[in-house]
Amino acid sequence: MKLREFGTTGKKLSALGIGTWEIGTDINKNIESIKYALDNGINFIDTAEMYGTEPIVAKAIKGYRRSDIFIATKVWPDHFDHDSVIKACNGSLKKLETNYIDLYQLHWPSKTVPINETMKAMEELIDEGKVHYIGISNFSVDQTKEAIESMKKYEIVSNQVEYSLVTRDIEISGLYDFCRDTKIAVIAYSPLSHGKIFSKIEMIDELEKIGTSYNATASQMALAWLMNRDNVFPIPKASNKEHMKENISSADIKIKPEDMKKMDKMEAKYYQ
Ligand code: NAP
């Protein structure tokens, strides 16, 4: 499994993480899938208080050494005032059945609570040892700058944003470059476009064609395209072991520059 430095943490995480939004329809299968990933080199799981999947993550990681797994969860904007952040964190710790969260992320920017207030509480959680690192999610370049400025003692180590072959907003807005230059890890959510890429038949055909020389499927090529960019950690959701297995293999694919160029053009070709 390809490992890469996660922001400024000094930690090496698997380039591929595990997404857990909307798992839970078949808990046993989901747990089997997560365990399969942990047994095969993945050490990074993403969840959120809003998903309701923290208890499933807790069940899945039982029996593994806690320090071998990097757990990321998120606080929802309704809980961004100081006391609510602390309460939400304690709730997540309980549901995750752990005494620390590796990465605690602000799920979306708030329209009402000043970022200074939220970050004060987040930094206190680090001081108490309940959180190891602070991340943000769905923050634009300007919102990321504002978040950086609000920090008194610690750094923002990641920004979780939508990024896939067909959702390239972070390249256009300059967020990808900004995060790379400031060493903020980009966690790419919905890396398979929430499953929508599979309905783009012509694109899937082209991905399969390019994938032939790598012995890779279309979804593997889509995930590998992200991991062949610097500083990007895709977190696909896979409810079953078969999808998980297929996704894990994508981390080892080294895409040739000429194929990367072809794939770079796919959004314009198939989505405009
Ligand atoms: P996604 O990972 O882009 O796509 C998931 C879909 O792709 C599911 O239908 C899944 O099916 C399917 N799939 C996965 N692997 C496959 C494979 N090898 N072959 C065929 N189909 C495959 O979508 P997502 O769940 O929206 O995003 C992933 C994670 O990002 C979430 O789980 C969550 O952790 C995070 N996220 C964060 C935010 C945020 O605001 N921060 C927003 C959205 C998502 P099965 O389930 O049947 O395997």
Query: For every one of its 272 residues, what pLDDT tens digit does the chain have, with 9 covering 90 and above?
Result: 889 999 999 999 999 999 999 988 899 999 999 999 999 999 999 999 999 999 999 999 999 999 999 999 999 999 999 999 999 999 999 999 999 999 999 999 999 999 999 999 999 999 999 999 999 999 999 999 999 999 999 999 999 999 999 999 999 999 999 999 999 999 999 999 999 999 889 999 999 999 999 999 999 999 999 999 999 999 999 999 999 999 999 999 999 999 999 999 988 888 76
- Ligand 1, atom 6: nearest CA belongs to which residue? 195
pLDDT for 196-246, tens place per residue?
A: 999 889 999 999 999 999 999 999 999 999 999 999 999 999 999 999 999
Bridge partners (DSSP) listed for residue 14: 3
| Averaged pLDDT score across all residues of the chain | 96
What is the best residue among 237, 242, 244 to mutate for testing ligand 1's pocket, by most ligand atoms within 8 Å of CB? 237
How many whole angstroms from 196 Cα to the centroid of ligand 1? Answer: 10
Atom of ligand 1 at shortest distance to CA of 243? Answer: 18
- Ligand 1, atom 2: nearest CA belongs to which residue? 236
> Which DSSP state fits 164?
B
Strands 12-14 and 3-5: antiparallel
Instruction: Give the span between the Cα atoms of 89 and 77, in whole angstroms.
Output: 13
How many whole angstroms from 129 Cα to the centroid of ligand 1? Answer: 31
The encoded tokens of residue 222 equal 């889509």
How many whole angstroms from 182 Cα to the centroid of ligand 1? Answer: 27
56 half-sphere exposure, CB direction, 13 A CA radius: 27
Instruction: Give the span between the Cα atoms of 124 and 53, in whole angstroms.
Output: 25
Q: Which residues contact 15 (CB under 8 A, 6 or more apart)?
A: 1, 2, 3, 4, 227, 232, 233, 234, 251
Q: Does CATH place domain 3-195+232-251 in 3.30.390.30?
A: no
Strands 12-14 and 185-189: unpaired
Bridge partners (DSSP) listed for residue 73: 104
Cite the beta strand spans of 218-258 per DSSP E.
Answer: 232-234
Ligand 1 contacts (CB < 6 A) are 19-22, 46, 107, 137-138, 160, 189-195, 219, 235-240, 243, 246-247
Instruction: Give the span between the Cα atoms of 26 and 203, in whole angstroms.
Output: 30
Give first-to-last CA distance, the chain, whole Å: 35
Strands 3-5 and 232-234: unpaired
